[in-house]
Amino acid sequence: MLASPILCLVAGLSAIKADSNPSNNRTETIDPKVRKEAFRGLPPIQSFMNVPSDRFLVELALVRRGHPYRGQRAERPHTGGHVYFKQGNTSEESYPAIYAVADGVISRVDYSYELRSMFEPAVGRKIANTRYGIGLTFATDGDTTMTFHYSIEPFIRPESNGFYDQFILVKPGQRVTKGQVIARMYLPDDQQLSQKSHVHFNLLRDGGGGFVSPSIFNDAVVREFHRRWNLFPNDPDGPIPPCMGYKLAPTENPFGRRAVDRL
């Protein structure tokens, strides 16, 4: 259950306008002075090959549709997996929990971050996409670190720059444990927008290493996620076998710089 301020916000959702002026981006990162010490003791990313995570970023029972990270070698590359949510599973007091997929440190919080507007055929117009998001640094890769990136995208533009603050439950520099609820997925009242709302997720190799496949989950999680994908019939990459990363280029492989068809 969310705190009572959420109820006040939800009660006033009519104040949200998808075509209002964009808000300024608000991002906070971990203090560089404590960064090195905060990340001390993180495991190597290769350890997730032997002991993968059994905690997906959301409850799989709530997933309506999704897809894995589609690598540079795919027909339709996409630098992240997506999860879309079943409708009618929330109330004014509760939104889907978003979990820490591993022990680690919150290295970044995007409280409000404007992405480009997109034309949505279902509503016949462009819709705004001001997202919020979290970076969870959880592993090392040689001399750099690996961050699990949660981009939480409700496909609205709130009038208030601080609207999403109530759905973010962590701060930069905070140490979290696997399974801890770190955020909530806000789903708009508008069902057409709510069906498009999703979490985009990937890994980032910090220090300019680019996007990496989030292939850190165990086989049970991968297969259950695959069962819920519901890819569109005209998907140019379909059918895709169970995986978290498909047709990866060498730089997109978290465990070794070599191309793989699925991971």
Position 259 in a domain: no
Position 262 in a domain: no
Of 6-10, 107-111, 170-174, 177-181, the one with minimum mean pLDDT is 6-10
263 or 238, higher pLDDT? 263
pTM of this structure? 0.88
Position 261 in a domain: no
Calculate the alpha carbon distances from 144 to 107, 139, 228, 259 in Å. Answer: 13, 9, 34, 21
192 or 4, higher pLDDT? 192
Position 245 in a domain: no
Looking at the chain, the whole-number percentage of residues with pLDDT higher than 90 is 72
Position 146 in a domain: yes
Average pLDDT over residues 7-21: 33
* pLDDT value of position 8: 32
pLDDT digits (tens, 9 = 90+) for 106-154: 999 999 988 877 777 766 778 788 999 999 999 999 999 999 999 999 9
* pLDDT value of position 116: 79
> Using CA atoms, how far apart are residues 210 and 242, in angstroms rounded to an integer?
24
Position 24 in a domain: yes
Q: How confident is the model at residue 71 (pLDDT cuts 50, 70, 90)?
A: very high
Nearest to 205 by CA among 159, 248, 169: 248
Would the CA dihedral through 125, 130, 136, 137 be positive or negative?
positive
Where do the H-state alpha helices sit in the chain?
A: 4-11, 32-38, 47-50, 191-196, 219-227
Would the CA dihedral through 44, 41, 204, 156 be positive or negative?
positive
The count of domains in the chain is 1
Position 250 in a domain: no
* pLDDT value of position 122: 65
* pLDDT value of position 5: 34
Position 91 in a domain: yes
* pLDDT value of position 134: 98
Q: Is the pLDDT of residue 165 over 60?
A: yes
Average pLDDT over residues 179-184: 97
Average pLDDT over residues 228-237: 93
For residue 86, the one-letter residue type is K
Q: Is the pLDDT of residue 34 over 60?
A: yes
Question: Domain containing 88: what range?
Answer: 4-232
What CATH number is attached to the domain comprising 163? Answer: 2.70.70.10
Q: Is the pLDDT of residue 1 over 90?
A: no
Q: In whole numbers, what is the pLDDT of the chain averaged over residues?
A: 88
pLDDT digits (tens, 9 = 90+) for 76-103: 999 999 999 998 755 556 799 999 999 9
Q: Is the pLDDT of residue 10 over 80?
A: no
**Residue 82 backbone dihedrals phi, psi, to 5 degrees:** -130, 145
